Structure 1
Amino acid sequence: MEYGFTTAAYVVASVLFILSLGGLSGQESAKRAIWYGIVGMALAVLATLFGPGAGNWFLSLVMIVIGGTGGWIVAKRVQMTEMPQLVAAMHSLVGLAAVFVGFNAQIELGRVMRAAASEVPVIFTGFAALLASRTPAEIAMLKIEVFLGIFIGAVTFTGSVVAFAKLSGRVDGKPKKLPGGHMLNAGALGLSILLGILYFTGVGPAILWLIVITLMAFFIGYHLIMGIGGADMPVVVSMLNSYSGWAAAAIGFTLGNDLLIVTGALVGSSGAILSYIMCKAMNRNFVSVILGGFGGETGPAAAIEGEQIAIDADGVASALNEADSVVIVPGYGMAVAQAQGAVSELTRKLRAAGKTVRFAIHPVAGRLPGHMNVLLAEAKVPYDIVLEMDEINEDFPSTDVVIIIGSNDIVNPAAQDDPNSPIAGMPVLEVWRAKQVFVSKRGQGTGYSGIENPLFFKDNTRMFYGDAKDSINKLLPMID
């Protein structure tokens, strides 16, 4: 009876997780999709707690209360601008959990094997009882699962920690590699595989091999992500999301938990697909992303001619009042300034004045996939005027005014004009083809990625300096 209830609950939870992923593909269905995920996770936790082989309910309840309270506090305190690094931090915890589960499985396996070799009968409970019931072939598969779980989990842990540090500004966003570059990664991987073979065949101390494998994987995760530049961090976040999913799936195989396998596979595959989509959007090679092999310059950057010309709020408002069509390009600067509310009000006033207003969203705008879409939805911007890059790029030549709010790389013409640029070949929003371009940014700095933008020096571009929220609020009273 217990097995039937648990299986049924896991099936329902899996369906809810699938519906949640599907719903997140659209802004209109995203809120409902989140609730699918919440209900599915609650059902999964209850089914696991009261399913066969469960125990230590008091300890489990204490852990749930501690984890739930911590998650609630973090969610209430973290700003939307900090979501990318929060996601990276969550990925690191999944990876670390996979490492701990792998080591625990090996410790329990060693205890069961020692008992089997002795003449004293031992009665096992919980996970150890599950291991004691497995055949030699199943034990061999378990060792493979333990190796993969620990290795992928360790790579995910340190990689996510470095991503968190880069996204939060604690570590320089420029790509850095140790002398030897990819050969160091290859050497660490080769040693890990060799020790994995020794572990699988039972030669030498198993725990020692797993410890060394963990250290090698820690290094690989660290070195891979340190070698990726800030311009490519959105892809890194989705890639680590995929890694954390496969680590969770490995945990599921180790524990014999079908739901964890399904959930991990969903996260792993969806993260991999998202990484692939983003790589296409940035004209990157998917394999290179996985290997941390991009993010650096290929030669000296092209010289930029001209100067950045500033404009005040009166000049921008005058251009907006005379324009018939306006395109707004939001970026991470809008998120930092929390300017989405002011932008939404500006949009409302411009549309009320009879102007065509649309938003242009690059696939990697911000530092997290979908970052801008969430902010605009939060500010009640109508979904139907929020367009993706491929839908709006051809319309820029007929656009009167483009307002860029805190964007840099996604509107950088060097991606098309400079083969030595770190973003060479990356599809970008071709805003420079519009009649007038206004760039709202705090100052003349290059931004997070450190890449200079020739757009800021073009004849049809004017720099609207200042905090994005304050700048937009200055425009509102001037819109007729």
Structure 2
Amino acid sequence: MTSLIAVLYIIAFALFIYGLMGLTGPRTAVRGNWIAAVGMGIAVVATLLTPGMSDWVLIALGVGIGTVVGIPSARKVKMTAMPQMVALFNGVGGGAVALIAWVEFRTTEGYAHEPVYVAIASLFAALVGSVSFWGSLIAFGKLQEMITGRPVTLGKVQQPVNLLLLVGSVACGVAISFGATSELLIIGLLVASAVLGVMVVLPIGGADMPVVISLLNALTGLSAAAMGLALDNTALIVAGMIVGASGSILTNLMAKAMNRSIPAIVAGGFGGAAVAAGGGSGEQRPVRSTSAADTAIQMAYASRVVVVPGYGMAVAQAQHAVREMADLLEGKGITVSYAIHPVAGRMPGHMNVLLAEADVPYERLKEMDEINSEFAQTDVALVIGANDVTNPAAETDPSSPIYGMPILKVNASRSVIVLKRSMSSGFAGIDNDLFYDPKTSMLFGDAKSSVGDIVEELKAL
């Protein structure tokens, strides 16, 4: 049986890695997800075959509840709500790890007869898992707009309070690892780290949420790996390390894409209070409106059009209409491509997934570094719901909260048309200077309806 379990784990881990490789592109992502899911199923079976496994009724009950809750949630969730779903599911993993650590403390009488490394790994898992769970709940609340997406801070005492909570959590863990067996210590560790998770995420603004979700995901993976070490469970160790490593790499890449350091993001302050364009003077500047008919004519006589998708496109579910519009333009001999910012939308790859859903050819999707040099040769840049990632203030206004963040340089195009419901600000809570550029025209309304009107006008030309 031991040999069989080892073989099953090896097969599962190979499928994890192979499935992860498939997630690198839209064409192979679904297949990769299924492969990894099969691997996880095999790992679960191998774990259930472990000698000494008992409480089958509780195991079956847990699997049943998870299935009843998980499948409908995954099937019904809208693509626009996927980031908060990811945050919630990720948080549940961290919370489960923290509870397992508590149970291990109780069943081993405070790790009294366990090796030191087991106590340390379990306590680390408890601390990090609790931070991840409660931090993920706050991220979910911000994305779901159950709580404000703006930073909520304690002002100058924010960081000292966070440090005090961290020191308190670690102190409880150190006391336990040196032989203390009072259950109040493990409860204190879990409570202090829970408050720390809340206090770390609350001050972070909406513009940083994609990075925060990725960071919390990495923390959950690390806590699972540590718990696997404590339990001598190979599946938890390997799966946790894969999640932790991939999440850490993604977090680092996204932070670089925003020209931000991870400590600066955790420290909060990005995506602060809304200010008006032009240094927050409150100056009212005119914008130029346009119509679907004028937009269609302008694009029909262009030689190159770049579509810049953002969260507004996701909310309106306009990707299929955008694909139809692009097909009509290409039928007229116009080159159409798509500019993808690394943090457009609310999670990494948000725009890629939406456009892949509409069967947009993958080679038409251009990453920021590739497309920025092409905007100067672009006749029309069509911005659909993107806000902060196109804001020139990131390059021109040192007082702007997003100053230094790399953007899509759509303002270098010969003409810019922005599809937007209103003049409201984006996640960063600041006005967009692009809207007031003389080359920019605003087409107000729901993105799907606006693109549909443009399609009808193109058909009539």
- Give the TM-score band, short-chain normalised: over 0.9
Give the equivalent residue in structure 2 for 1:475: 454
Q: Give the letter aligned to residue 261 of structure 1.
A: I
Aligned to 1:237: 213
Counterpart secondary structure, 2:108: helix
Distance 2:198 2:268 in 1: 10
The answer (yes or no) to whether the contact 1:27–1:383 under 8 Å persists in 2 is yes
Deviations 1:434-454 (A, max 9, x none): 011111111111133311100
Matching residue of 1:343: 322
Stretch of structure 1 that moved more, 405-414 or 47-56: 47-56
Give 2:343's match in structure 1, choosing from 335, 348, 364: 364
Runs of 4+ more than 4 Å apart: 290-300, 302-305
Alignment partner of 1:421 is 2:400: yes
The answer (yes or no) to whether the contact 2:110–2:182 under 8 Å persists in 1 is: no
Q: Alignment partner for residue 440 of structure 2, among 457, 461, 465?
A: 461
Residue 329 of structure 1 corresponds to which residue in structure 2? 308
Q: Say yes or no: does 1:198 pair with 2:197.
A: no
* SS of the residue 1:444 aligns to: coil
Return the offset for 1:28: 2.2
CA contact (8 A) 1:49 1:57 kept: no
Aligned position for 1:47: 46
Q: Is the 8 A contact 1:105 1:254 kept in 2?
A: no
Structure 1, unmatched stretches of 5+, are: 114-135
Aligned to 1:438: 417
Quick check: 2:387–2:432 contact (8 Å CA) kept in 1?
A: yes
1:311-330 map, 5 Å? 311-330=290-309
- Which structure has the larger Rg over C-alpha atoms? 1
Distance 1:436 1:331 in 2: 18
**Alpha-carbon shift at residue 329 of structure 1 (Å):** 0.5
1:67 aligned residue: 66
- TM-superposed CA distance for 1:293, in Å, is 6.2
SS at match of 2:115: helix
The superposition leaves residues 286-329 of structure 1 with CA deviations (integer Å, 9 ceiling, x where unpaired) of 23234546544799935567322111111101101111100001
Q: CA deviation at 1:231?
A: 1.0
Instruction: Identify the match of residue 184 of structure 1 among 156, 161, 171.
Output: 161
2:402–2:428 Cα contact (<8 Å) kept: no
2:83 aligned with 1:88, yes or no?
no
Q: Secondary structure at the match of 1:403?
A: strand
Please name the residue that 1:396 is paired with: 375
**TM-score under structure 1 length normalisation:** 0.91
Q: Residues 262-304 of structure 1: CA distance to partner in whole angstroms, max 9, x if unpaired?
A: 1001101111110000010000012323454654479993556
Structure 2: gaps (5+ residues): none
Q: Which amino acid aligns with 2:420?
A: K
Q: What is the one-letter code of the residue matched to 1:274?
A: L
CA distance in 1, matches of 2:237, 2:216: 18
Structure 2 match to 1:219: 195
CA distance in 2 between partners of 1:456 and 1:111 (Å): 61
Report 1:104-253 matches (<5 A): 104-110=103-109, 113=112, 139-179=115-155, 180-203=157-180, 205-253=181-229
1:285 and 2:261 aligned:
yes
- Kept in 1, the 8 Å contact 2:356–2:362? The answer is yes
Q: Provide the C-alpha distance between the structure 2 equivalents of 1:464 and 1:293, rounded to a whole number of angstroms.
A: 32
Kept in 1: contact 2:207–2:270 (CA 8 A) = no
Choose 173-182 or 153-162, whichever is displaced more.
Answer: 173-182
**Partner of residue 15, structure 1:** 14
Please give the per-residue CA displacement for 1:96-150, whole angstroms capped at 9, x wherever unaligned.
Answer: 101110011011101885xxxxxxxxxxxxxxxxxxxxxx6x5211110121011
In 2, Cα distance between equivalents of 1:5 and 1:282: 47
CA distance in 2, matches of 1:293, 1:275: 18
In structure 2, the partner of 1:117 is: none
Residues 178-225 of structure 1: per-residue CA shift (max 9 Å, x gap): 14010111111112222221111123x431111111111111111111
For the Cα contact (< 8 Å) 1:298–1:420, is it kept in 2? no
Q: Does the CA contact (< 8 Å) of 2:435 and 2:442 recur in 1?
A: yes
AA aligned to 2:291 is D
SS of match in other structure, 2:408: coil
Residue 30 and residue 416 in structure 1: after superposition, are their counterparts in 2 closer, same or farther (change >3 A)?
Answer: same
> Following TM superposition, by how much is the alpha carbon of 1:350 offset from its aligned partner in structure 2, in angstroms?
1.0
Q: What do the CA deviations read for 1:79-112 (whole angstroms, capped 9, x no partner)?
A: 0000000011011101110111001101110188
TM, length-normalised to structure 2: 0.95
- Asked if 1:274 corresponds to 2:273, the answer is no
Structure 2 residue aligned with 1:121: none
In 2 relative to 1, CA 66–297 (structure 1 residues): closer, same or farther, beyond 3 Å? closer
Return the alpha-carbon distance in structure 2 between the equivalents of residues 296 and 420 of structure 1. Answer: 12
